[in-house]
Amino acid sequence: MLPMPRRRHRGTGSLKLRGRIWWIIYTADGGPVYESSHSSDRSVADKLLKQRIGEIAAGRDLSPEKATIDDLCALVIADAKLRRLRDAKHQEWRYEANIKPAIGSLLASRFGTSQIRVYVEFRRKAGAKDSTINRELALVRRGFALGYREDPPLVRRVPHIPLLEENNARQGFIEQARYERILGELPVRLKALFVVGYHVGCRLGELRKLKWEQVDLDTREIRLRASDTKTKESRTVPIYGDMSTWLSMQRASSPDGCSWVFYGRLNRPVGAHLTGWRNACEAAGAPGLFFHDLRRSAVRNMTRAGIPRPIAMAITGHKTESMYKRYDIVSGEDLPGVGEQMERFLKTQRAAKLQRVK
C-alpha cells in the first residue's frame, strides 16, 4: 500500500508520484482511497482529485471499485443478446477465448495504458492480427462505457483505449478471364451463386438467405429484405449479364418445395463454407480467393463501365460513415440503366478477350 503523503490542507486530498504515474489520495467512508490517474501529467491528476472531492461533497458513493474486466465484458455480452445483435455470439467467443484468460480478473480501476500495451504485445505474440486485437479492445471499451452508465456505476471512468492501425485490407480482384475459369471449375451447386456474387457483389450471407419470391426474372430485379442485409436496409439489385441464364437454370434444378435460391442439403440454404470453392479457385489459378473478394470485383467493374460510384456502392450494400450521405441520394430510378450499361461493358470485355486470342 502507498504511504500516506502530507495533505495540502484538510478535505482537499493529496497527490503522490509513483514512478511516472501520479496517484490521488482522498478520504471516503472514513478511510483513505488511493486511485491512479493513469497519467504522468500532474495537471490531469489534480483535475481528477478535484472531481472526486466534488463527488464526495455531492454525496456520491466513492468506495473502492470492485468491478473486474470480466464484469464489464459480461455487460457487453448481455447487452448484445438483449438487442439481438448479429455478432453477439462472436463477442462472447472473443471474450471467452482471449480476453478472459489474459485480463478477465484484472480490476477495472487498474486498467490503463500500460495494461493496454501489455495486452497488445501478448496477443501479437500469440499470432493475433491487429484487426483482431482491435475488436477485442473495442469490446473492453464498450464494457467501460456500459459500466459507467450503470446505476450505481461500476466504474468511475472510461479510459482512452486507442485502436491499432490496421493494414490487412484485402486487395483481391478477378478479371473476366479468371471469372470464366473459376466458373468452369466450380461444382454445379455453386455456379449460380458465384455468377450473382461476381455481377452485383452481394454479401454471401445475403445471398444464402435469398428466396425465389425475391427474384423477378421478368423485371430483372432481386429484392433484398432489410432483415437479411448487414446494413438493415432493403435494397434492389439488377439482373444482367450471365445472371438471368444461371438463375433460370438454378430455378429449374431446385428441389420440389425448396424456397431457397441457393440451396444445400435437405432443402436448406447452401452452407457458409462453400464446399468445393477452395479447390475450384486453386484449379483456376486464383488460390486464396474469398467469396467476399467478389464484392470488390463487382464495384470495380461497375466503375469501369461508367456506373457512378455511389450507385455501385448502393447496389453492393457498402455503407461507411463517411459515405452515408452519398449513398442516401440513390433512388430506384437509377437502377434500370445499370443492367444495360453492365451488359455493354461485359460484351466489350468478351470481345477484347476474343481479339487477343486471335
- Structure confidence at residue 328 (pLDDT): 38
Exposure of 15 by Cβ count < 10 A (0-12 exposed, 13-18 middle, 19+ buried)?
middle
> Grid coordinates 426474372 are at which residue?
217
Q: What is the DSSP string of 314-358?
A: HHHT---GGGHHHHHT--GGGSHHHHHHHHHHHHHHHHHHHHHH-
Q: What share of the chain is helix, strand, coil (3-state, %, to 5)?
A: 55, 10, 35
- By three-state DSSP, how is residue 149 classified? helix
pLDDT digits (tens, 9 = 90+) for 4-14: 444 444 457 88
Distance CA 243, CA 216 (A): 12
Look up residue 266 and give its DSSP letter: G
Residues 6+ apart with CB under 8 A from 138: 161, 163
Task: Say if residue 152's pLDDT is above 90.
Answer: no
Residue 237, beta-bridge partner list = 222
- Average pLDDT value for residue range 146-170: 82
Domain 176-357, CATH among 1.10.287.540, 1.10.3260.10, 1.10.287.3510, 1.10.443.10: 1.10.443.10
Are the C-beta atoms of residues 35 and 49 closer than 8 Å to each other? no
Kindly list the distances between the CA atom of residue 218 and the CA atoms of 54, 191, 206, in Å, as whole numbers in the listed order.
Answer: 70, 21, 21
Q: Is the pLDDT of residue 278 over 90?
A: yes
Mean pLDDT of 286-291: 90
**pLDDT(169) > 70:** no
Residues of the chain with pLDDT > 70: what percent?
87
Using the predicted structure, report yes or no on whether residue 227 has a pLDDT greater than 50.
yes
Say what the pLDDT of residue 320 is: 63
Query: How many percent of the chain have pLDDT more than 90?
Result: 45
Out of 38-47, 161-170, 180-189, 290-299, pick the least confident: 161-170
User: What does the pLDDT average to over 159-169?
Assistant: 79
Spell out the domain ranges in the chain. 14-57, 69-149, 176-357
**pLDDT per position as a tens digit, 28-76:** 766 777 888 878 889 988 988 888 888 777 766 555 568 899 999 999 9
Angle between helices 243-253 and 188-200 (to 10 degrees): 150
Does residue 316 carry a pLDDT above 80? yes
Residue 171 pLDDT: 59
Looking at residue 353, its pLDDT comes to: 76
pTM for the model stands at 0.59
Q: By C-alpha distance, which of 316, 298, 278 is closest to 190?
A: 278
Q: What does the alpha-carbon distance between residue 7 and residue 28 come to, in Å, rounded to a whole number?
A: 15
| pLDDT at site 29 | 66
Of the listed ranges 103-112, 135-144, 297-306, the one predicted with least confidence? 297-306
Contact present, 318 and 299 (Cβ < 8 Å): yes
Q: Is the pLDDT of residue 272 over 80?
A: yes
125-129, 180-184, 195-199, 341-345: which range is least confident on average? 341-345
Lowest mean pLDDT among 91-105, 203-217, 232-246, 316-330: 316-330
215 close to 270: Cβ distance less than 8 angstroms: no
Task: Round to whole Å and give the CA distance between 241 and 247.
Answer: 11
pLDDT at 84 over 60: yes
Residue with cell 486507442: 162
* pLDDT over threshold 80, residue 124: yes
Residue 321: pLDDT band with limits 50, 70, 90: very low
Is the pLDDT higher at 175 or at 341? 175
